[in-house]
Each structure stands twice: as C-alpha cells, then as structure tokens.
Structure 1
C-alpha cells in the first residue's frame, strides 16, 4: 500500500469534525463548487440546439446526440470510478476530472465541425463522471457522522440548482451571441475553480496499489452504455435493432457483474459488490433507483407536455420548472439537519407519500391546466424528492466501511444512470401506447397525447408507492457501518 506524502488519516478528520460542529470542511466546499460547475454543463446546451442545427447543418435527431453522448459517457465511466478513486490521491482525482472537463470545454468552444463538438462533449462527460463519486467519497471520509446530513444537504443544493439554472443561463448567453459563448463562459469558471482547488485541496485517506482489470473496463463500458442508450431510445426508435442493442447491454452487464464477483476473491474488482452485503446500503440502493425511475421519467414527460401541447419554447419551459429545482436545492441543507437529529424515516416516508400525491395530481393534467397550478405541483414534487434523496444518500453510504465508500458512490451513480433510462423508457412507452389506443378510438392527436400523459404519470405514482413501501424498511435512526447486517 502506498501513501501520499500529505495524506491525512480519516480518523483524524473525524475527530476534527467533531471539534468543529456546524462547519463544513474547506475540501468539501471546493468539491461542491467544482461539482456545481460540471453538472451545470449537463443542461446548459438545451437552448443552443436550434442554432447548432443551423451552423452545422444537422437535423434535430443528429443534434440530440450532444445530449446522448454525455449520458453514454457517464454510464461508461462511472462504474470505473470506484477503482480509480482508491488508486489515486484526492488532488490527483480532482486534477484529472477538472483538466479533462476543461479540455473538453475548450475543444467544444472552438469546434469546427459537429463531429469535433460531439467528441468534446464526451470528453466533458468523462470529467463530470469522476466529480460526483469523488465528492461523495471525500464527504464520507472527512465529515463526522453526526454532521453528514447537514453537509450532504449542501451537496443536494449544488446538484439540484445547477441543472435547473443551466437552461436559464444559456438562454441569457444566447441573447448576446453565438452558442460558442456558452463554452467561453464555462471555461474560465472551471479554470478558476481548478486553480483555487489546487491551492487549497489536501489529500484524504490512503491510496492502494492494484492492477486495473481491462476486461472489466471493456465489459462495463460496452454494457452500461449500450443498456442506457437502448433504453433511452425507446419511443424515439423502433424495430429489432433497438432490441439487439438492449440485449447486448444486458449480456455485457451480466458478464461484468459475474466477473466482479470472481475478482472479489483476488481483492481487486473494478466495482466491489460487497457493498450489497450491507443491509441499509442495499435497501437505499433499491429505493434510490426506483425513486429515480419515477423522478427522471416524470421530468421527461412535463417538458413534452409544455412544448408539444402548450407550445412553450425550451427557454419558457426551463423557466417554469426552474423554481422546483431551486426549491429542492434550498431545502437540502434543512433536510440534512433534520436527518442528523431524527434519522431517515421521518423524512423519507412522508417525502415518498407526498411524491405519490404530486404525481397523482399531475395525472389529472389537461390541455388547459393553468401554468400556476403546474408550477405549484412541480415545486411540491421536487420538495418531496429533497426529503428522499439527501437522507437516502447519507444513510446508504454511512452504512459502508471506509474502504467501500468509493465503490458505494460509484454503484449509486451507475444505477442512477440505468434507473433514469429505465424509468424514462417505461413511461414513454406507456404514453405512446395509450395515445395510440386513443387515436384508434377516434380521439384527436392532442387529446390522445394528454390521455397518454395521464397514464404515464399514474405509472410514476405507482413507482412512488413502491418507494413508500421500501421506506418502511429504513431504520428509525441512522445506523453506522458497525451495525450493518453483513
């Protein structure tokens, strides 16, 4: 085992955190700022699609690949981060993530062709994929158990507000000129965060020496990217080709899992699945996955309705749903404090119930539903999710032993990608099948679409009921790793 020269023992950090109750370590503030910047980039391109289509003379279908490549790269890279974060120091991981992200941003801003821009977005995504597991892993290492909820709430603030602000910021920038200005805005911000971080960031914990399993890398990259892509294309494409892509994804993911179980005996799996032996982590993993299925699936439905039925632009749609994202983020720190005092159940159970109610309310949506009512229900939905995500993240990762933190963060991130794709695919299929059935019965296209939308939101509410049931399995109070069932 090798140790970085400026390594700080996690136990010392725990003791320090105990003495500085109420304060967030500087290292977490730096990583939250960096994570905010890279996550902001995920949604900042939404409003630039029309101008990109004109400049590069591509179709909307082709332009959509700028979002697809980001998603596919994230799905391929996140499973590797558990191994990566154990093999390099905190500063090295931060530097790699931000330099890769910055390089992709610079190339994107200067891209002479659509293909170059597409590759640049993939490079950006590779850097982004490292930041979230790095933040979560470091948080678990340096923050005392009794303060983790509060600090995790601040993380929720960053990851909720950033994507909500992305479309609004890009809309304002596009008023000033070309879509290239978006990258010109992001690059200096990312560079500033990187320079400041390198001046103040300290290494945490120890690094391990161990070989990388390139077979695992290949299986994970092909399997998860094929699975997420295939699922995300349901509704946009049809035919046997899509089934083949999904089938390939399933086979490669299954092979990846089997290979990781085999590698566990040698002590160097790419993704350590021994995390699943910890009861609370396993429960929160399933709960989080189903909640993400309902959440992301529903978040696809609302913009479809607002733009296709109500005729709103992408900017107007972004502004209407932005208050929900901001409310979710602002509530995060308060939810975290309650978690530190009361545990997960008192937050997750009512949060899940309110989520079901909000999705149920959206299932009553009509072609002329007032915008104010849609906004209020959406805010309620996002607030309910704040009561779920912060406690579940904190409880699940807190159930693990320190050497599994990076693998736990990686597995959570991986299943979020897969669950989001599954949820989106399932709800879109329900929407389209119901709409087609109504058209065959003589309904007009818009009325049929609204009818399909209602059924899709009902399906989301059913997923919410499952989340309620799973939340009853959570412990009354937070339990440490020592109390886990192995």
Structure 2
C-alpha cells in the first residue's frame, strides 16, 4: 500500500509548508477534543433539561466512542482514496455541522445525532493528523512535533471541564457548542489557505466484507464494554452477546486481513516489535488515564461534595502541566530515546495510583491535586515517546495502518478501562453496604462510594504494573528508511 509517498510533480517535498500544516491540525484537534470533555461535565444539566435517565445521557459519550471505533479502522483505507486537503476539509465540515446541530438541539435525539456527526469529523482528523506528521517531519524531529500534538490532545480535555463549568454557571449547555463553532470555522478557513496534499491517492480495491467485519468487531467490543460500565452489568445478555459477537468478528477480520494481498488494515505492522510494545504501553496508559479521569470527578463531587466547577478546577493543574511537558518529553525523546523516559514515567504513574487507592472522605484537595499532577507527569513521559518510537519502526507504506491501529485500539482501551473502573466502583460500594449495621446512616453511602473508588484504583495499579513490565523491553528505533 504505497499511499504515503510525498506528492511529486506539481508539488515537491521541499515545497511543503510544514508549520502551517501542523498548525491547521493542532487548532482543529484542540477544538474537537475540547468539546468532547466539555460536554461530559454538562450531563447533569442535560438529564434535567431533557428529563432523561443517567444511562440514557451516557449514550452521548458511548455513541461518540462507538462511531470512532467503527470509522477509525477504516481510516487507513480512506486515506488511500482521498487527498489530504479533501479529508481535512471534510473532517472540519463534519465537526462544524455536528457542533451547529448540537448548539440548536431541541431534544436528546437531535443532540445524539449531532454527537455522531462530530465523531465522524474526529475519526477522520486524528489518524490523518498522525499520518501527515509521519510523512512531512523527518524522524529526528518527530519527538518534539509529536510532543506538541500531545500538548493539544491532553490540554484540550484538561481545560474542557473547567471552561464548561464556568459556562454552565452563567449560561446554558448550548453555549459549549456556540463558543466552539466560530473557532472551528476559523480552523476551516486557515486549512483552506494552508493545508497541502502530502500523499498521492492510490485508490485500492474496497473489500466490503472487511469493512463489515471491522464495523461489527470494533463496534461490538466498544458497545459491550460501554454498556457494562453504564450500569447494565457484566451479566447482562446485551453485554455478553455484544462482546462475543465483536470478538468473533475481529478474529475473522484479522484472518481475512492476513490472507489478503491488499488488506484494508495491514496487520503486518505487528511484525515490528517496537510498534507492538509502544502500542501496548499506550493502551495501558489510556486505560489508567481514562479510568482516573472518570473516577476522580465522581469522587470529588460525591465523596468530597465539591461543585462541578470546583472539581474541574482541581483537575486543571495536572492537565495543564501534562500539556506543557509533552513537547519537553518529545525533545528528550529525540535526544535520549524512549527507554528511561518510559520506565521512569510508568513507575511514577504506578506510585500515583497507589496513592489514589488510599483516598478517603477526609482526603485534602491538595493531596488530590498533587497526585493528579504526578499522574499526568508520568503519562507525558510514556505516551508520546512510546507512540513515536513505535511508529518510527514502521516502513512508510505502513504509516496509515499503524496510525489507524493505534487510534482504534486507544478508543477500545478507553471504553474497556472506563467500563471496568465503573463496574469495580459499583460492586465495591455494594459490598461495603452489606457489611454496615446502620444502613440508614447518611454517612455510610459516602463511605461505601469512597471504598468503591479505592477498589477501582487497585485495577489501575495492576494495569500500571503490567505497563512497567512491558517498558523493560522497549529499545530506541534506528530509522533506516528514508522519507
């Protein structure tokens, strides 16, 4: 699949305006990821506004993840059929349409449709962004550039809850989208002027069966785990059936890709050991990070009785520091390689998770802020170095497949990590309540909830330890292929 050759003829590689291209992606990516987490903080308002149940409101997140899980695997194929400009503009237009529909949404169903349209934009944009950077940035500079991308990916979700808390204190939830809309339009205009085509479409044959198996496989897994985390429980027939059907479809999909001469998603990427190790480390980090991101707001608002805005402010420093450190870690990766960065980073994350497992209803806000900052420092030392090192080992023709695999499995890992964390939280709270004598005591539900949070962080500790073991095997990739 040779779609990653820099376009020649009408545009030589030297004619590429690298900085404006990167800025176009950074601006668009920031706004897309900001609106995603900003809406999570508005779920309570949406439940009241539309008169819906909590599990129904969660579909705004589940539907978004589901769309990503279905479309991102196909992105490797899509990038071979269309030019960079076509895909970038389509992604931004989809985001603009979805954001506008959400801003005027009169009902939950309309808002749900808007979220799916938004997810289409994100599903096209993220793989395209990583693939383009791999093509236009030479290997010895990728760490720093990936670090800048990491700043956007981490900083946007970090400020989302805080800004949305401020908006919700003064305006309705619609304004989360109204504020994003002009920024997206600005990103589109900037992209129209500065985005360039960096690949030549090869238009390979489309295998409908592969697309179908991929959709059922990844969609089934994400749906099953998300449903379990929403309260359906692991014993629910829907959850069990979704995961089994999804797993069978993925096995069939994998077998078909291996046998095909021109696969939709080239699994040969897994033959490169540093790519596989980097991918595993990213999946561990995503599970730890997303489970922490869902547990902490619940703990802060329930156990410590903080407001949405106060909870968002408490989590802001960690996210901001993570964003600031991402380019720094990228520079250190370019200079020293990934091994010590990743090993020390995952050890720091493990220590922070051990700290989180000790929190009580009397834990101070300062302790939570400190642990969250430590977690985010550790994550910044692992994510981009592991990802960049892994992708560097792939030959250029596998860049679209490598980025598609990484982006897809990140969504799946996020859904799994969130679902397991919520399930452990729920079961831990229930088991605590069976041990108390006075169930009418209003303090006991708070103690039970906090005990559930402690149990859920034990899962994060286990995942972090697994990540540390994997990190022992990482080595710096010597890039031999030329751009």
TM-score above 0.5, yes or no:
yes
Which residue number in structure 1 is paired with residue 473 of structure 2? 473
The offset of 1:140, in angstroms, is 0.6
Whole-Å Cα distance in 1 between the matches of residues 86 and 247 of structure 2? 33
Q: Partners of 1:438 and 1:52 in 2: how far apart? A: 31
Q: Which whole-Å CA distance do the structure 1 matches of 2:268 and 2:400 have between them?
A: 12
Pair 1:297 & 2:291 matched: yes
1:451 aligns with 2:451: yes
Q: Aligned ranges for residues 30-429 of structure 1 at < 5 Å?
A: 30-235=24-229, 236-238=231-233, 239-263=236-260, 265=261, 267=262, 269-429=263-423
Q: 1:24 touches 1:151 (CA, 8 Å); kept in 2?
A: no
Where in structure 1 do 4 or more consecutive aligned residues deviate above 6 Å?
Answer: 1-4
Q: Which residue of 2 aligns with 1:20?
A: none
Q: Distance in 2 between matches of 1:482 and 1:3?
A: 16
Deviates more, 1:376-385 or 1:279-288: 279-288
**1:437–1:255 Cα change, 3 Å:** same
User: Given the alignment, which residue of 15, 21, 30 partners 1:27?
Assistant: 21
What residue ranges of structure 2 are gaps of 5+ in the alignment? 438-443
Are the counterparts in 1 of residues 65 and 415 from structure 2 also a CA contact under 8 Å? no
Cα separation, 2, equivalents of 1:69 and 1:137? 25
Q: For the residues of structure 2 that align with 1:449 and 1:169, how far apart are their CA atoms?
A: 27
Aligned residues: 472
Offset at residue 396 of structure 1 (A): 0.9
Aligned residues of 2:132 and 2:198 also touching (Cα < 8 A): yes
Unaligned segments of structure 1, at least 5 residues:
18-22
| Cα deviation 1:286-342 (Å, max 9, x = unaligned) | 221122222222222212211221122332222211111111110011111100000
SS in 1 for 2:232: coil
2:428 corresponds to = 434
In the TM superposition, residue 91 of structure 1 has moved relative to its aligned partner by 0.4
Q: Can you list the C-alpha shifts for 1:446-486, whole angstroms capped at 9, x where unaligned? A: 323322322321221121111111111111x3322659xxx
TM-score (norm 1): 0.91
- In 1, distance between residues paired with 2:481 and 2:453? 46
SS of residue matched to 1:84? helix
Cα distance in 1, alignment partners of residues 3 and 294 from structure 2: 45
Superposed CA deviations along residues 67-100 of structure 1, whole A, max 9, x for unmatched, are 2211111111111111111221110110111111
- Tell me by how many angstroms 1:256 deviates: 1.9
CA distance in 2 between partners of 1:160 and 1:481 (Å):
31
Counterpart-to-counterpart distance in 1, 2:40 and 2:427 = 27
1: CA distance, partners of 2:18 / 2:117 = 31
